[in-house]
């Protein structure tokens, strides 16, 4: 196993992450829930959440220990507590997701009121926001120790920020699929198309930005906060969308805005998003 991980570290990490998460998920939702025949009850959601989070962190810590030993684990801890970075990255990490998602809902609400987030009319706004932030922090911590703690540094030795972010972003989206196996209530949009819209439109784009932020800061803490902001925004800014076509439109609008930001960042950084750093420089960080 150690030899295999050393030869194909990222591939092994992706496989272990999915296998561990999905195997932990199966006893909770059963095979019918896993393939979308039944919808898990709300009472099971905390268990589903934690079951999915086991994969990235266990696969990461195991992969790091087998390939780099205790030195690799100490490096992870150092990056986890690294907070002295430029203030602009805290602004980017915390506000990119909520602003883009809110703008997307606002634009679409001009055409249909069902895109207005339900939190606007909720009587428990504070509770919903606190719940979203708490869930986001848990997801960010457990997931980013893997996606950013292990996979991204390995891929950055070979690929640019945009390629690395897109590869991890697609796998990241696919990894989520058991949680989104809900068919279109209207029956218009096929489940596969709906899954693609939910999982591999805006997630790879957002992961590219996360990769850029990590590349500039080498801080796991800031990436965890960025992950938190995305999860919290998704949980608190939900709208009363009733069919699959609406979901596709919303996700495409969010993805479009994210790629606009990626283009702007690439221009402002003079091509940093698409140019690969030297391998030697990365190995010394």
Per-residue model confidence as pLDDT tens digits over 240-262: 776 888 999 999 999 999 999 99
Q: Residue 277's pLDDT is what?
A: 61
Give 117's strand partners.
Answer: 239
pLDDT (mean) for 182-209: 88
Q: Where do the structural domains in the chain lie, given as residue ranges? A: 81-283
Give residue 41's region: left, alpha or beta (phi > 0; psi -120 to 50).
beta
pLDDT (mean) for 157-178: 94
Lowest mean pLDDT among 44-48, 67-71, 143-147, 271-275: 44-48
Do residues 78 and 87 lie in contact, with contact meaning Cβ atoms separated by under 8 Å? no
- Give the highest mean pLDDT range of 49-53, 54-58, 233-237: 54-58
Torsion of CA 271, 259, 221, 136, to 10 degrees: 180
Q: Can you say whether the dihedral through the CA atoms of 86, 90, 93, 96 is positive or negative?
A: negative
pLDDT (mean) for 151-169: 95
Q: Whose structure tokens read 């009587």?
A: 123
Q: Residue 282's pLDDT is what?
A: 47
- Give the highest mean pLDDT range of 9-23, 25-39, 44-58, 186-200: 9-23
Residue 126: pLDDT band (50, 70, 90) is confident
CA-closest candidate to residue 63, choices 155, 20, 18, 1: 1
Residue 209 has pLDDT above 90, yes or no: yes
CA-closest candidate to residue 196, choices 251, 233, 243: 251
- Token readout for 140 is 């960010």
Do residues 227 and 138 lie in contact, with contact meaning Cβ atoms separated by under 8 Å? no
């Amino acid at each position: 196993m150690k030899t295999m991980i050393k030869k194909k570290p990222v591939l092994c990490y992706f496989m272990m992450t999915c296998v561990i998460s999905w195997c932990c998920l199966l006893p909770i939702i059963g095979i019918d829930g896993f393939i979308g025949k039944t919808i898990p009850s709300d009472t099971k959601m905390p268990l589903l959440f934690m079951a999915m989070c086991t994969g990235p962190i266990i696969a990461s810590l195991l992969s790091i220990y087998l390939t780099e030993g205790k030195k690799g684990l100490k490096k992870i801890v150092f990056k986890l507590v690294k907070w002295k970075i430029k203030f602009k990255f805290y602004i980017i990490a915390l506000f990119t997701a909520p602003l883009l998602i809110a703008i997307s809902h606002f634009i679409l609400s001009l055409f249909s009121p069902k895109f207005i987030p339900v939190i606007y009319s909720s009587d428990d706004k504070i509770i919903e926001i606190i719940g979203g932030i708490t869930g986001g922090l848990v997801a960010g911590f457990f997931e980013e120790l893997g996606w950013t703690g292990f996979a991204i540094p390995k891929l950055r030795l070979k690929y640019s920020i945009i390629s690395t972010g897109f590869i991890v972003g697609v796998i990241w989206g696919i990894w989520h699929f058991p949680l989104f196996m809900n068919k279109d209530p209207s029956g218009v949009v096929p489940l596969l198309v709906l899954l693609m819209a939910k999982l591999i439109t805006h997630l790879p784009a957002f992961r590219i930005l996360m990769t850029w932020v990590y590349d500039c800061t080498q801080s796991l803490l800031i990436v965890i906060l960025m992950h938190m902001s995305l999860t919290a925004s998704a949980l608190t800014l939900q709208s009363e969308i009733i069919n699959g076509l609406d979901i596709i439109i919303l996700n495409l609008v969010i993805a479009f805005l994210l790629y606009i930001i990626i283009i702007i960042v690439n221009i402002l950084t003079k091509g940093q998003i698409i140019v690969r750093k030297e391998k030697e420089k990365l190995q010394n960080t």
